[in-house]
Structure 1
Amino acid sequence: MKHLRISTSLPIALLAAITLAACGSDSNSTDTGPATSESAVDDASPATLTVSDAWSREPAEGQDVGVVYGTVTNPGDADVRILRATSSVSSDVELHETTVSDSGAMSMREVEEGYVVPAGGQFVFEPGGPHIMLLDIDSATFPTDQVEVTLEIEGDDPVSFSAPVRAIGDDMEGMDDMEDTDHSDVEDTDHSEMDGMEG
């Protein structure tokens, strides 16, 4: 399991975009918690998941991590577990969650057990919450149009979708551009190449 701990005095609203140069819109979620060992998926055949409102942020120059967001809908009558994600832009893709402590320290960790999309409901990958992390990317060759992502599903076929890439500064919804944000207190764990991440 990989951990990232960030300590900063910046407002929490800015911390929500820490994995990118800037964050954009987010969506309403009916279930944003990680899957647990108690939330077993039913034996019933799961319905095919659909992904909407997917997007990724254009990485800043030299940035080596990216992120993908989107809303996953489960039209079936059985819970469906997302086990992991893959992408053509990175050989190292992880499902992450983000938490903020009472002291304002932000932590991101890989959710190895995956996430459950509830029957007849949705699960939202969103800024400041669960997200799909793209590690060890090359900002110079990162797509400018869309990112291809595949979700591996427990007991069902994979679900592939395209996430349009938003340019830095698009759809800020009142959040300041974070290119000049100082994140010198980043404690490097397994994200060993994150010194190019500015926001």
Structure 2
Amino acid sequence: MTLTRFSAALAATLLAGPALAEDILIEDAYARASNARAGAAFMVIHNQGSAEDRLIDIRSDAAARVELHSHRDMGDGVMKMTHVEAGFAIPAGGSHALARGGDHVMFMGLAAPFEQGATVTVTLTFERAGEIEVAIPVDLERQQTDHGKTGH
């Protein structure tokens, strides 16, 4: 029984930490839902390598469709979310933030509501680094602060 508890605690600790594959490091990932049908995920993607990489796809069983999205200014104060088929460049030695009001992961047709404290598993696909599976915690309470950064 103690071994089972230890294994569960170890698994939870590993899932809560940053995801790392080769030169790509995923930090500060969290997901939230705006309603029972749609949600979004945000994170900072660091490229610790010497060559640019590109996030080109995302998959998850959490929704019928999962896409890389951005906001586009349509003028007159109107912003429209658009699917970014080309993905997002992650510069060598740099990072790219997927943040509220900017580039993000969009979940459409949620399989189940995102509940506080749950996790959403996604597979990120990069041109160079390949696939990275990330367990993203659902944080419905996180507030947006200045410059698109988030905090509690």
Q: What range describes the TM-score normalised by the shorter chain of this pair?
A: 0.7 to 0.9
Aligned length, in residue pairs: 125
Whole-angstrom CA distance in 2 between matches of 1:59 and 1:103? 24
Task: State whether structure 2 residue 28 is matched by structure 1 residue 53.
Answer: yes
Deviations 1:124-158 (A, max 9, x none): 10000000001111444x45411111111113320
- Contact 2:70–2:83 (Cα < 8 Å) also in 1: yes
Question: Which residue in the other structure is 2:104 paired with?
Answer: 131
In the TM superposition, what are the counterparts of 1:75-86 in structure 2 within 5 Å?
A: 75-86=48-59
Question: Which residue in the other structure is 1:171 paired with?
Answer: 142
Look up the SS of the partner of 1:119 in the other structure. Answer: coil
Label 1:173 to 1:80 Cα distance change in 2 as closer, same or farther (>3 A).
closer
Structure 1 spans left out of the alignment, 5+ residues: 1-45, 175-199
Task: State whether structure 2 residue 120 is matched by structure 1 residue 147.
Answer: yes
Label 1:173 to 1:113 Cα distance change in 2 as closer, same or farther (>3 A).
closer
Which of residues 95, 101, 104 is equivalent to 1:122? 95
More helix by share: 2
Question: What is the one-letter code of the residue matched to 1:171?
Answer: R
Question: Which residue in the other structure is 1:89 paired with?
Answer: 62
Over aligned residues, Cα RMSD in angstroms? Answer: 2.2
TM-superposed CA distance for 1:47, in Å, is 4.3
Give the ranges of 4+ consecutive aligned residues of structure 1 lying more than 4 Å apart after TM superposition: none
Look up the SS of the partner of 1:166 in the other structure. Answer: coil
- Contact 2:62–2:112 (Cα < 8 Å) also in 1: no
Instruction: Tell me the TM-score normalised to structure 1 length.
Output: 0.57
Structure 2 spans left out of the alignment, 5+ residues: 1-20, 146-152
Which of residues 103, 108, 112 is equivalent to 2:76? 103
Whole-angstrom CA distance in 2 between matches of 1:67 and 1:87? 12
Whole-angstrom CA distance in 2 between matches of 1:97 and 1:54? 17
Deviations 1:9-36 (A, max 9, x none): xxxxxxxxxxxxxxxxxxxxxxxxxxxx
Look up the SS of the partner of 1:106 in the other structure. Answer: strand
More strand by share: 2
Whole-angstrom CA distance in 1 between matches of 2:61 and 2:111? 12
- Contact 2:44–2:97 (Cα < 8 Å) also in 1: yes
Residue identity (%):
28
Whole-angstrom CA distance in 1 between matches of 2:81 and 2:144? 23
TM-superposed CA distance for 1:59, in Å, is 4.5
Instruction: Tell me the TM-score normalised to structure 2 length.
Output: 0.73
Larger RCO, structures 1/2 (Cα 8 Å, 6+ apart): 1
TM-superposed CA distance for 1:92, in Å, is 1.4
